[in-house]
Structure 1
């Protein structure tokens, strides 16, 4: 597979798809996910890590609410990685990540993730290219460790939004009272760095692909939710899980 070039990938659903039909299919998939998650929790042999990355306003929060909001909260955890604290900066960059990795039986969502340390840091010249590539090798090793030694299925999604759609959503935060709490003046400044972010994301896809990325067209929420829900359902179904029998006294 050649280098992923985001400018060559559509941010919208294929034109032949019918929105209402896809939404119905997504609802059915989410219903199946309820049973699969229950199996995952009961069997407690596997874990799942869902990594969500994307530009501001790509819809990570809404995706979590729509796809995972109906699952049993006892078996799903969400962690959002923000600017590192002083304590976190005193450790290696994966320290705060590893302690949030999923336990067996759990689905863990990373709303942004360990990849921020090779994305934002590079765009803002807080991390040089040599250090970034060392970190990418460490990330590959970290993900291999989770997969091989904790039976962790890792699903990595990049929510691929267009510059036009991002601008509409960011401006909507100024006018919609239900979304004003999300407004951050710096988001508009970050949006101007789109070419720089595209480059470092493409480097990330190239170097950290031992566990492959799914590039999710994200301009239309209904299609984005379908893609992620189906990928998760297929991954859980492939585990061939079974409910444990009666426990021996």
Structure 2
């Protein structure tokens, strides 16, 4: 069975070049076997989410980060394809609006943390506030370090108050990104997904890769570790994240609350 160890960031110096975005250790068997495995994992994730909801004490936060076209939307669609929408919430963090800019950068994130018994998925996150401002030159190195420390404190607060934090960086190659962006342009039905600003960000590919390396190394911790997900293969990306979530939820040893003994023998008429 494939291991997550190689793909977990343990702090210190870290290079994205050490992980091939085309790796696919979680793809086993033929295409049908892989689809069946994803279906199985999606079903088990639904069962585990039901237990999480029934227990009603803890919660899970899944953070998805990655370059444009890395597949954050697709991950959510496939991994949670069998999960009740009542137990999963998704928030997509875009560029902050005027109301959000008037507050500290973590305000909008804290307003969207999961409730007890819930899985919350962040499509982009507070990490946009250490990636974009640094690459664009809006903050200096001292402010960058302060934000790393503040993010660590924020995630420690979540962990100490019952939130299990799972952070995944969807790692794609520049070549695959070009192919996916081109597909959006070439297919009229997908053209709505394309923004010219995507090309401006692509020109800064190396700077963003370096910014990710810094952020992952500075903020991966025991209570909120980062995993780098090879994502050139969409199916591998989905299988790896689904398996990571199932492994995480199993490790929580979830259980339904003790049955109310006063209901023993009760007959509904």
**TM exceeds 0.5?**
yes
Question: Is the contact between residue 77 and residue 108 of structure 1 (CA under 8 Å) also seen in structure 2?
Answer: yes
Q: Which stretch shifts more, 191-200 or 171-180? A: 171-180
Is 1:139 matched up with 2:112?
no
Pick aligned residue for 2:235 from 218, 222, 226: 222
Pick aligned residue for 2:138 from 119, 126, 133: 126
Match of 2:128 in 1: 116
**d(CA) in 1 for partners of 2:45, 2:228:** 21
Is 1:234 matched up with 2:244?
no
Q: Which stretch shifts more, 179-188 or 22-31? A: 22-31
Structure 1 unaligned residues grouped into runs of 5+ = none
CA shift for structure 1 position 19:
4.7
Pick aligned residue for 1:177 from 172, 179, 188: 188
Closer/same/farther in 2, CA of residues 244 and 79 from structure 1, 3 Å limit: same
**d(CA) in 1 for partners of 2:129, 2:55:** 34
**d(CA) in 1 for partners of 2:30, 2:211:** 32
Pick aligned residue for 1:243 from 237, 250, 256: 256
Question: Alignment partner of 1:74: what SS?
Answer: coil
CA shift for structure 1 position 24:
2.2
Q: Which stretch shifts more, 108-117 or 7-16? A: 7-16
Within 5 Å, give how 1:69-108 maps onto structure 2: 69-108=81-120
TM-score by length of 1: 0.95
Q: Which stretch shifts more, 173-182 or 220-229? A: 173-182
TM-score by length of 2: 0.88
Question: Is the contact between residue 19 and residue 222 of structure 1 (CA under 8 Å) also seen in structure 2?
Answer: no
User: RMSD in angstroms over aligned alpha carbons?
Assistant: 1.6
Match of 2:36 in 1: 24
Question: Alignment partner of 1:155: what SS?
Answer: strand
Match of 2:7 in 1: none
Match of 1:7 in 2: 17
Larger Rg: 2
- Could you report, residue by residue, the CA deviation over 1:205-227 in whole angstroms, capped at 9, with x for unpaired residues? 11101121110000001100011
**d(CA) in 2 for partners of 1:64, 1:183:** 19
The size of the alignment, in residue pairs, is 248
Within 5 Å, give how 1:146-225 maps onto structure 2: 146-149=158-161, 151-210=162-221, 211-225=224-238
Pick aligned residue for 1:34 from 30, 46, 54: 46
Match of 2:265 in 1: none
Structure 2 unaligned residues grouped into runs of 5+ = 1-9, 263-269
